[in-house]
Amino acid sequence: MFIVNLNNKNITNLTGEATISSSLNNLGSSCSYTLAREEQGELGDILDISSSGESFFTGINTSRTLNKFTYSFKAFDFSFYLKKNKVIKQFKKLKASECIKQLAKDLDIKTGEIPDLITEITNIYRNKTASSIILEILEEVNRDSGDRYFVAVEGENLNIRKLGYEKIDIGSDLESISKNESINNMKNTILVSTKNHSENPTEKISKDSVNISKYGALQEVILIDPKESSQASNIAKNKLKELNKVSLDLSFNTLGNSKIKPGMIAVLKSEIFEIDGEFYIESVTHKLRSGIYTTSVTLGEYADE
């Protein structure tokens, strides 16, 4: 059972259908929905969708299309303001977590769970959106520590979570399963080099000879600032761990479950498709229509690799 509220007014019976999409690759979540014309929703109205008494999408109407019998709306969660506000910001040897908190404060965005990210950030960001700055900061953290973090906006709160922060047992009652494996994005050799063009630039290489022998050489080049040269080996090692693998694209449909979210670890099993393990959840789409609620999930790499 799901409930749709617009500005705290229950409009469930007037909502034709709603599709809520979220992905690790796209900061924030969006919702496309239709509304009977007698209920004239406005741009800027606050949409909230809940299941079993727990809200799983809160956002703001950002566009409206008038159809013959309905309005079609597009709403985005509050990451909308991170994407639409450009700033000029300077950080000097400030922890990554504090940089993110400062950005949020400057834009009057509330913060929720933000772990202590100790990577020091020294940079000047000019005419960049707050969202792009946060993603750059998290990439710096990834290069420094090897840990992957992502942005999760829940309600009005900006959260930063570590990939695999929670496990959810999907079970085996799945439909429309599709499994694809590929080496198209594999990199088994990582070259890290300083950006300057001096005669003796710092260069570090990390590679997997076994995979090179099996799949051929697949190299990625990462250019870093000379001030990061002492971290070159660590950056190469962490990036090799991230990219030196067969990529997995596994998708399926299941009964509606609002607790399934990108960034979690999904535990599932399917004998037909030889699936038995733990996988990172890459994207989730919730579809609500005529009282029927379904969830489509796309999984990425194995979580135990």
Q: Which of 76, 101, 122 is the last residue of a domain?
A: 76
Are 171 and 288 members of one domain?
Answer: yes
Q: What is the pTM of this model?
A: 0.82
d(CA 51, CA 220): 44
Helix axes 232-243, 130-145, angle to 10 degrees: 100
Are 133 and 209 members of one domain?
Answer: no
> What's the mean pLDDT in 33-37?
89
Answer yes or no: is 60 within a domain: yes
Residue 106 has pLDDT above 60, yes or no: yes
Are 88 and 70 members of one domain?
Answer: no
Are 89 and 36 members of one domain?
Answer: no
* Tens digits of residue pLDDT in 235-269: 899 899 889 988 878 888 988 889 999 999 998 87
Residue 103 has pLDDT above 60, yes or no: yes
d(CA 155, CA 132): 21
Are 171 and 282 members of one domain?
Answer: yes
Are 20 and 124 members of one domain?
Answer: no
Q: What is the 3-state secondary structure (H, E, C) of the chain?
A: CEEEEECCEECHHHEEEEEEEEECCEEEEEEEEEEECCCCCCCCCEEEEEECCEEEEEEEEEEEEECCCEEEEEEECCCHHHHHCEEEEEEEEEEHHHHHHHHHHHCCCEECCCCCCCCEEEEEEEEEEHHHHHHHHHHHHHHHHCCCEEEEEECCEEEEEECCCCEEEEECCCEEEEEEEECCCCCCEEEEEECCCCCCCCEEEEECHHHHHHHCCCEEEEEECHHHHHHHHHHHHHHHHHHCCCEEEEEEEEECCCCCCCCCEEEEEECCCCEEEEEEEEEEEEEEECCEEEEEEEEEEECCC
Q: Please tell me the predicted confidence (pLDDT) of residue 291.
A: 79
Answer yes or no: is 240 within a domain: no
Domain that holds residue 212: 191-235
Q: Please tell me the predicted confidence (pLDDT) of residue 199.
A: 63
**End-to-end distance of the chain based on CA atoms, in angstroms?**
37
Are 178 and 229 members of one domain?
Answer: no
Read off the pLDDT band of 153 (50, 70, 90).
Answer: very high
Q: Please tell me the predicted confidence (pLDDT) of residue 158.
A: 95
Mean pLDDT of the chain: 90
Q: Please tell me the predicted confidence (pLDDT) of residue 270.
A: 76
- Residue percentage of the chain with pLDDT more than 90: 60
Total count of domains within the chain? 4
Are 266 and 287 members of one domain?
Answer: yes
* Tens digits of residue pLDDT in 40-53: 789 999 999 998 88
Q: Which residue has the tokens 């709603």?
A: 18
Read off the pLDDT band of 201 (50, 70, 90).
Answer: confident
Are 178 and 292 members of one domain?
Answer: yes
Residue 204 has pLDDT above 70, yes or no: yes
Residue 61 vs residue 204, higher pLDDT: 61
Are 155 and 113 members of one domain?
Answer: yes
Q: Is 274 left (phi over 0), alpha (psi -120 to 50) or beta?
A: left
Are 45 and 154 members of one domain?
Answer: no
Are 274 and 156 members of one domain?
Answer: no
Q: Please tell me the predicted confidence (pLDDT) of residue 121.
A: 95
- Residue percentage of the chain with pLDDT more than 70: 96
> What's the mean pLDDT in 98-108?
96
